[in-house]
Amino acid sequence: MSVMNRVEVAVYQKAKDGNKLCGDSYYYIETDDKFICVIADGLGSGTFARESSDAVIESIKRNYNKPMKEMVKVCNQQLQGKRGVVLGIIKIDYHTKKYSFVSVGNIGMIAISKDLSKKRTIPNSGYLSGGKKDIKVVEEVLEKEMNFIMFSDGVTSTDLSNKFYQHQDVNDVIQSFILQNKTPRKDDTTLIAFRYKEKPKGLSYKKNNII
């Protein structure tokens, strides 16, 4: 688990059964005024999928201070001549006390309030491959002690029905998911759990801190 200024993060990632390399990539960073988390899933699996997802993450690292739609645009431009990618980005704004989420394709996100009520965001359809793409950014009010779950399509509806995400501690969320899913994964799987807290601690960033 990574403990940052106002966010705690835990990550699970595993390649599709039979593959050594996961086609998903992820990245998260915290600054004085925001937290950003990204999952990019290259279409298919293996080396070419990872090449595309890594290209998107490198673009995010250079452009995370831009507006959400602009971040998606520059990521899309990186995919000319490469395999396509589905992408999810969430930004928590500490000043406005709001969070924004954009997803192209099947990167999912669930926001869980302190009372365990949950809100699942519907992604934009399709995927990024360098062509023109119209997207919608969803913005919601940020609550104290709110948990967020982001996941690639390796996390199934059956997995979600087990309600592993109801733990408050993000490390417990990941461990619960692992205990419930001991069978080989049928797809590349990335699951990121993070918890927003208002009390500042320090500044840091992480990339691919895998459990």
CATH number of the CATH domain containing 166: 3.60.40.10
Per-residue pLDDT, 181 = 79
CA distance between the termini of the chain: 9
pLDDT-wise least confident of 9-18, 29-38, 59-68, 116-125: 116-125
Residue 111 lies in a domain: yes
Q: Domain tally for the chain?
A: 1
pTM (2 decimals)? 0.90
Residue 179 lies in a domain: yes
Residue 13 lies in a domain: yes
Residue 211 lies in a domain: no
- How far apart, in whole angstroms, are the C-alpha atoms of residue 61 and residue 127? 20
Residue 82 lies in a domain: yes
pLDDT tens track for 9-58: 999 999 999 899 999 999 999 999 999 999 999 999 999 999 999 999 99
In contact, 129 and 75? CB cutoff 8 Å: no
Residue 78 lies in a domain: yes
The pair phi, psi for residue 57, each rounded to 5°, is -65, -40
Dihedral sign computed on CA atoms, order 125, 28, 159, 155: positive
- Domain of residue 26 covers 2-206
Per-residue pLDDT, 183 = 78
Residue 72 lies in a domain: yes
